[in-house]
Amino acid sequence: MSLLQIERDNLGHILSIVMPRPSNFHAHLRTDTLMRAIAYDIMCWVKYLLVMPNTGPIDTVEKVVAYYYLLTKIAEARGLKPELIMTIYLTDRLTPAMVERLAKLPFKVAVKYYPPHKGATTGSGEGVPLSDVREGLRAMAEHKIRLLGHFESVYDKNGRELPHLEREEYFMLHEFPRLRDEHPELDINIEHASTALAIERVKEDSRGKTTCGFTPHHLFLTLPELMKKSWANHGRCMPTPKSQHNVDACLEFAASGDARAHLGDDTAAHLSATKQGPFDQAACGCWLPHSLSLYAMAFKRAGALDDRFVRFACYNGPDTWGLPRPLPEDTVKLVADDIHDIPEPTPVPEKNDVVIPLGWTKEQDRLKVGLRLFCD
Ligand SMILES: [Zn+2]
């Protein structure tokens, strides 16, 4: 039996899709008023939710624990119970003793690497080069704590600042092989993979210790296409969208059903005020309450809206983490909808502002998704 139940009209158009509850292995839950405004939309459709640490940042065991219980309380108050996986920001304070404490927490924890340069992406600049934390990385391998990487090089070997378009590829060419060789037992996840070379790095590791997550937009959006849109600033993110060649490679691997690729949408809410002005000054990160619809659209384009979609969105992530898959009766539904497929902007009343979803606009060139998530 198919893992995906698709209802069609007599012309073959999709009316609805029922599928096992997906999991999201890369989400930014923010803090304070923004967190309270957006948390429900991120939590309502997932079984497992991996929470990123770049606001604050979350860089001590105490902060990880406090953030976990705060988010759990918010979920419970809204009648939701996603299982949270927490992350700690990789800094030079990550000692083997700290890794041991993380391993003993009553919930799962990973360590997140950010480029050690301010301005590389939202919340970067607190971290350290991977070569400065070898002891911590060895302890992580020993305690089976995963390294999640925002793998972009900001400068090349000669100190030249790299253009955004080249940063991930440069890291994969010049930095990743050393990391992989020095820590053969470390489980490494390449977050938001956006280049053909990142996918090569996953494929060439026949031991399966290298995995990757994909955002929805890196599966269908090229940078030249984005730049033509009225909503381009809302698609500005790091790593930046790439060329068609890279989009094709990402979509092919994600849609192959390969166990090493999973859903991690990198949803990252920013107040609309920070998304205005010239493109290269807009805050980095896309608001994606509709990410499941976007993934379904991309898989449909690839002719892979079948069991491969379920593996990518619902099974591969939990399998990688050694967590149980969703039960067969635990499902979510997408319905055909050309009008409300992109949710309305999320109000943040305390800030007198909104958070605008990727592709939403009042102009003519609104993104057409065609499917709407039913969150209940
Ligand atoms: Zn992120």
Once rounded to an integer, what is the mean pLDDT over residues 186-194?
98
Please report which confidence band the pLDDT of residue 56 belongs to, taking 50, 70 and 90 as the band edges: confident
| Interval between CA 6 and ligand 1 midpoint (Å) | 31
Q: In the annotation, is 266 catalytic?
A: yes
pLDDT in tens, 293-321: 999 999 999 999 999 999 999 999 999 99
Q: Identify each DSSP E strand in 21-129 by its residue range.
A: 24-28, 48-51, 83-89, 109-113
Tell me if 314 sits within 8 A of 308, measured CB to CB: no
Please tell me which residue, 60 or 54, carries the higher pLDDT value.
Answer: 60
User: Is the pLDDT assigned to residue 343 strictly greater than 70?
Assistant: yes
Please tell me which residue, 126 or 42, carries the higher pLDDT value.
Answer: 42
Please report which confidence band the pLDDT of residue 366 belongs to, taking 50, 70 and 90 as the band edges: very high
Average pLDDT value over all residues in the chain? 96
| Interval between CA 228 and ligand 1 midpoint (Å) | 24
Please report which confidence band the pLDDT of residue 1 belongs to, taking 50, 70 and 90 as the band edges: confident
Among 131, 136, 47, CA closest to 85: 47
CB atoms within 10 A of CB 78: 12
| Interval between CA 89 and ligand 1 midpoint (Å) | 12
pLDDT in tens, 246-260: 999 999 999 999 999
Once rounded to an integer, what is the mean pLDDT over residues 180-205?
98
Least confident of 87-96, 125-134, 288-297, 305-314: 125-134
pTM: 0.97
Coil, helix or strand for 209? coil
Type of residue found at 298: A
Tell me if 208 sits within 8 A of 260, measured CB to CB: yes
User: Is the pLDDT assigned to residue 124 strictly greater than 90?
Assistant: no
pLDDT attached to residue 353: 98
Tell me if 199 sits within 8 A of 219, measured CB to CB: no
| Interval between CA 266 and ligand 1 midpoint (Å) | 5
| Interval between CA 26 and ligand 1 midpoint (Å) | 6
Q: Which residue out of 59, 187, 266, 341 is catalytically annotated?
A: 266
